[in-house]
Structure 1
Amino acid sequence: MQTDYLSVRLFRLKDPMQPFDKSNREYMREVSFGTISPQEVESYKSCLNIVEPLFPLSWWNDKQTYFEMKYSHTTEYKEYFDATDTCIRYLKHKTFDPINAALQCKSTQAQSKDLDKGQIEFTDANVFLNYNERHALELSDPFVYGEYTIKKDFGCQHHLRGAQPYCDICQKSFGCDICHNDEVLDHELNWKDVKKVVCCNCNKLQDINHKCKYCWFKMSNSFCHVCKEIITLDPETEPCYHCQKCNKCHRNAIEKLCITCPECNECYAPKNANDHICSNQEVNCIVCQGQITHNTDFVTLICSEKHKIHESCLQQLYNNNQGHSCPVCRKSLLDSLTTQKQQMTVVEFIVNQKPDLSSHKVNIFKCKDCNILQADLNYFCCRHCWLQNVDEIADVVLTSKQFKCLLQGQKIEDNVQYQKEINQFGEDLQTYKEVFSPIHSKASRFLNIELKHGVWIMIWLCAIAYALQYISKR
């Protein structure tokens, strides 16, 4: 049985000021990033030409593994990557500036060519640094990058593996214990109970070990005689060790970087601190309310360390188009790059919108992220985070006089519902003139028309008065 896995060639740029062409890459090492599902294979195939920034070159050490180099700098890592492990160093604005974004939407700068286009993700001129700025940063603080390829090796969808566990009850072998437990419902297979395995290279049944006694094929990169688990993990990216304190094998961890929980005396890596679950503490999935254990695949949401969810439940939310906000607090779960892209999209829409001012209607809504009540005319957009993660509350129809005050940025003195929020929107219209320019341009014509109507009414009233006076004299 063979499965697909990601192989990554680590490289640096030979000339930091030149593009990411393959001729400008100095390759340093090749590592494996584990198995991928058939669905992920298709997803990765579409972006294999895109390289990924991994960590600063200053962290590189030939005597250390990829895992050690990356996770020995947990504090510094936060300066380059956000909570979703997305690189943020190329963002144009660390704090989103809607006025600058609006000016860029109107300029031709966003259409400028980038020599890195198609080779690295950060080439949208609206959101990221331009080519010269990006490579000047590379010159002062060079990075290690990853070039992905898809390869095949022995294993199942869960792990690369040189041997398959043999179940004495079923009297046949399976890809792994998870494959067995998914297929067989009347009993479970635990690695500690496995006595025999089938070599993936010669298909011969034998006692469990890290090497095949028939063909001498290396079935495992690391083998624990206590846990007896055979996994061909790449020590570079997925180290494994057996802890004497908690008598357990730890994957994706090295002993010198692990800490011991004072509550349950169990070890975990600092990078997994938010995901650690004490054995004497019950944690439930926020969607299905099923118990989350160390053996289940789960995710800790970025909104709160207490919000944990099964990966399968999260995937189901995405399938239903509900995976972009937390089911509990309803805050946005977007990473930094996606957030900035959506903010730019929102501003671009507002800049190019065609507002309807004829109805005198104002929409009231509440932002789920900022928890602030706000008003707008045609578009539900929070003016604090510039996202659309909002709840509609009510509609307020203003009088002609009140609507004029709103468009001119003047205070509405009359007692109307949601008066504070409506007046704040009037102020924001003036503050963000570049963003709300369509409303300003249309409002000026709207107010001029109203003014002209008033002048004509006065003229007609005067004409009627003179006519009546003339008739009365006769």
Structure 2
Amino acid sequence: MEASANQRLDFGKMGYGCEHYRRRCKIRAPCCNEVFSCRHCHNEAASALRNPGDRHEINRFEVKQVICSVCDTEQPASQTCANCGVNMGEYFCDVCVFYDDDTTRGQFHCKECGICRIGGRENFFHCQRCGSCYSINLRNNHSCVENSMRHHCPICFEYLFDSLKDTTVLKCGHTIHLECLTEMTNRNQYCCPICSKSVFDMSKAWQRLDEEVEATVMPEVYRHKKVWILCNDCNDTTEVLYHILGHKCAHCQSYNTRTIAPPILPQ
């Protein structure tokens, strides 16, 4: 009997779903009363509507009704179908109304985030100040920025907090999609798009620039000209000799600087 019950629960496992999730149910969207395989399917369809006024996203917490994909029975959201008895998702969260048969993704619900995450609870911790779950490798090893994940990616502008794409935390504490960071560096952009601090250790690049500056003699008219610079990496301001290739911060040795107006001295 126990084997028979388990077979009924497992019937159709990994055989239903969409490109986002394998699950044995569909959801009825509370916003438009239409049926979709998951909220992402709904959001993609809604964003493609011709009339901008009709575009909208589903509120995952407001989903109340689901339709079993095995027997087509519509019912209140729960893990097991009230009619045929199958598990509509091996993983089920009654808070997010989230179903997924592929448990290798390591789904878990974070109470502080208020949503389900993937990757295994043991591999993440919730940073209260940043307002999101981060890899345990970043515990006591990242710069905190208030609610840094509750913003849009500075490159593609997708909301990061519940994005399906991999997200990374920069040295400065700001966050960005990993694929967007890769695209940015492929285009030789190495500064945070938000605060302009260097994304990587640039010391070797600065050494090469030192050699180029040393080898490039400025014309006599510019040789003794000085400019004030602000360092994007350490925020220090200094007066340095003008050079067409770049201006080196006297404090942290970074060339990630910009020229500014001279400071106004008190009278």
TM-score of the superposed pair, with normalisation by structure 2 = 0.52
Aligned residue type for 1:163: C
Please state how far the C-alpha of 1:184 moved relative to its aligned partner.
Answer: 0.7
Task: Give the whole-Å Cα distance in 1 for the aligned partners of 2:159 and 2:143.
Answer: 10
Task: Tell me what 2:90 maps to.
Answer: 221
Residue number in structure 2 paired with 1:19: none
Map of 1:114-263 to 2, 5 A cutoff? 153-185=15-47, 186-234=55-103, 236-243=104-111, 247-254=114-121, 258-263=124-129
Contact 2:129 2:144 in 1 (8 A): no
Which protein has greater RCO, CA pairs closer than 8 Å, 6+ apart?
1
C-alpha contact 2:129 2:145 (8 A) present in aligned 1:
no
Q: Is the 8 A contact 2:63 2:97 kept in 1?
A: yes
Give the whole-Å Cα distance in 1 for the aligned partners of 2:143 and 2:71: 39
Contact 1:268–1:276 (Cα < 8 Å) also in 2? no
* Distance in 2 separating the partners of 1:193 and 1:212: 19
Q: Which of 191, 207, 212 lines up with 1:372 in the alignment?
A: 207
> Is 1:294 the equivalent of 2:161?
yes
| Contact 2:148-2:174 within 8 A present in 1 as well | no
| 8 Å contact kept, 1:277–1:293 | no
Instruction: Point out where structure 2 has 5 or more consecutive residues left out of the alignment.
Output: 1-13, 48-54, 193-197, 217-267
CA separation in 2, counterparts of 1:369 and 1:247? 43
Q: Where in structure 2 are the equivalents of 1:84-95 lying within 5 Å?
A: none
Task: Kindly name which structure, 1 or 2, has the bigger radius of gyration based on alpha carbons.
Answer: 1
One-letter identity of the residue aligned with 2:116: C
In structure 2, the CA distance between the partners of 1:195 and 1:258, relative to structure 1 (3 Å rule), is same
- C-alpha separation in 1, matches of 2:19 and 2:185: 24
TM-score relative to the length of structure 1? 0.32
Identity %: 22
Q: Alpha-carbon deviation of 1:257?
A: 5.5
Residues 57-456 of structure 1 aligned to structure 2 (within 5 Å)? 153-185=15-47, 186-234=55-103, 236-243=104-111, 247-254=114-121, 258-263=124-129, 268-271=134-137, 278-279=146-147, 283=151, 285-288=153-156, 290=157, 292-296=159-163, 297-300=165-168, 304=171, 306=173, 308-310=175-177, 313=180, 317=183, 324=186, 327-329=189-191, 370-373=205-208
CA deviations over 1:292-341 (Å, ceiling 9, x no partner): 4311235327x7464643367468x4xxxx653662339999xxxxxxxx
Measure how far apart 1:269 and its partner are.
Answer: 4.4
Partners of 2:129 and 2:199 lie apart in 1 by 32
**Alpha-carbon deviation of 1:166?**
1.2
CA contact (8 A) 1:242 1:250 kept: yes
Q: What is the rounded CA distance, in whole Å, between the counterparts of 1:204 and 1:329 in structure 2?
A: 53
CA distance in 1, matches of 2:134, 2:115: 11
Distance apart, 1:232 and its partner CA: 2.3
Q: Distance in 2 between matches of 1:177 and 1:227?
A: 11
**Secondary structure class of the residue paired with 2:43:** helix
* Inter-partner Cα distance in structure 2 for 1:371 and 1:265: 35
Give the aligned CA root-mean-square deviation in angstroms. 4.3
How many residues end up aligned between the 2 structures?
A: 186
- 1:167/1:189 contact within 8 Å kept: yes
CA drift at 1:231: 2.2
Could you tell me which runs of 5 or more consecutive residues in structure 1 were left unpaired when the two chains were aligned: 1-151, 334-366, 376-381, 383-389, 395-474
- Relative to structure 1, the CA distance from residue 311 to residue 267 in structure 2 (aligned partners, 3 Å threshold; closer, same or farther) is closer
Corresponding residue SS for 2:41: helix
Q: CA deviation at 1:238?
A: 1.2
CA shift, 1:284, in A, is 5.2
SS in 2 for 1:160: coil
